Amino acid sequence: MTEFAYTAVDQQGTLVRGTLEAETEGAVLAALRRQGHIPMRIGAPPHVARGMLGRAITRPGTGLRRADLAAVTRELAVMLGAGQDIDRALRFLAETSPRARVRTVLEGVRTLVRDGRALHVAMGRYPGSFPRLYLGMIRAAEATGDLAPTMERLAVLLERERALAATVQSAMIYPAILTLAAIGSIVLLLTTVLPQFIPLFAQNGVALPASTQILIQTGAWLGHYGLAIPPALLVLALLGRALLRRPPVRLAVDRRLLSLPVAGPLIGEILAARFARILGTLLENGVPILTALAIVREATTNRAAIAAIDAATHSAKAGYGLAAPLEAASIFPRRMVHLLRLGEETAQLGPMALRAADIHEDQARIAIQRLVALLVPAITIVMGLLVAGIVSSLLLAMLSLNDLAQ
């Protein structure tokens, strides 16, 4: 008998973990199904995995990146859709991939599959490469025999998420560079340009304006302690990260972020797009609603959204719909809630959730464009005002020097 660790979803949609002793993983799978559980992952217990394969596959830097996972999933979907078996598809991808990391993971998965392991079990041995959402959909596909369509849906899901994340990152590059340039210019004026005039003012005994004195003192402080600012900011960031690990603090911060004037609606659109995309993909793949909500909850990072999903899960357990608790939470946009309600009324919740995801992804891109359109002029104006203030203070001091000469 061998001890196996498992992760499953019970009949109430709750994620459960534990261990079972059995001869094979198939026996564990059958035992969990007899208990009414839906298996998500089966593998060696942590204390065994650390001494065996688990230790080798969980080393830092050995997991697939999101871009690699999306590309692998797309190619698997194409090959399986063309009639290739999973062994030949994995072998082809492992042999042709230009990345050593991808080759290592795919060869390991293929070896386990050839040894008789189910695909989701083999991929589960690489938790740094395949998220639980991915494994849950593969497991459901293997149970129904729809692996190729599932790979297609997973490819679309990963590509949409990657495209949305890339849109956000790309949009923030220019404002970030502009902000750094503005800070660098101001620091250069205060620490390099302004100090060159201090001896001139001191030799002539000029009574400097208050604004000029403040700027001189600020420049001197930056010259003495400026190098300590980055480490201090790093320490503050680490402290803030530790503080955010506390659920009450994280919940309050997440709620506050959603209430911000411009960024709040953008965050809401991104949350709605991700929630609807994952939920719709899971439902279209035949995953039960409670299991789908449990997986969506695990894939969500915003605590306020998690609380809304929990309320929707309790409503679904009681036989009611999702729309009412989601609307009461006031976290997600009303458009998404309306489409989900329409999907429930017409028994088309999966397709309507995917339709809502398409709409909110477009809305998120529009919101990002608006945010950038506001940020760039705002940063430029603030930078111009600060530089103008420094130059004006310097000119006032020079005028005082001129008055003294006269």
pLDDT digits (tens, 9 = 90+) for 155-171: 888 888 888 888 888 88
Residue 22 forms beta bridges with which residues?
2
> What per-residue confidence (pLDDT) applies to 1?
59
- Check residue 342 and give its pLDDT: 92
* Residues whose CB is less than 8 angstroms from the CB of residue 326 and which lie 6 or more positions away in sequence, other chains included: 308, 311, 312, 332, 336, 337, 340
The C-alpha atoms of residue 149 and residue 123 are separated, in whole angstroms, by 18
- Can you give the pLDDT at residue 353? 92
Q: What is the structure's pLDDT at 401?
A: 65
Q: For residue 37, what are the contacts with CB-CB under 8 A and spacing of at least 6?
A: 8, 9, 10, 11, 16
At 240, the amino acid letter reads: G
Q: Distance between CA atoms of 187 and 179, rounded to whole angstroms?
A: 12
CA distances in angstroms from 308 to 263, 312, 314, listed in the order given? 20, 6, 10
pLDDT in the model for residue 15: 67
Q: Give dist(CA 336, CA 333) in Å, integer.
A: 6
As a whole number of angstroms, the distance between CA 238 and CA 256 comes to: 20
What's the CATH code, domain 66-158?
Answer: 1.20.81.30
Dist. CA 249–CA 256, nearest whole Å: 11
Q: In what order do the strands lie in the sheet with 38-43?
A: 15-22, 2-9, 38-43
For 225-267, write each residue's pLDDT tens digit. 888 888 998 999 999 889 888 888 888 998 998 888 878 888 8
pLDDT of residue 205: 66
The segments of the chain whose pLDDT lies below 70 read: 1-2, 11-15, 26, 39-41, 43-62, 204-207, 400-406
pTM of the model: 0.68
* b/e code 212-247 from CB counts within 10 Å (16+ = b): beebbebbeeeeeeeeeeeeeeeeeeeeeeeeeeee
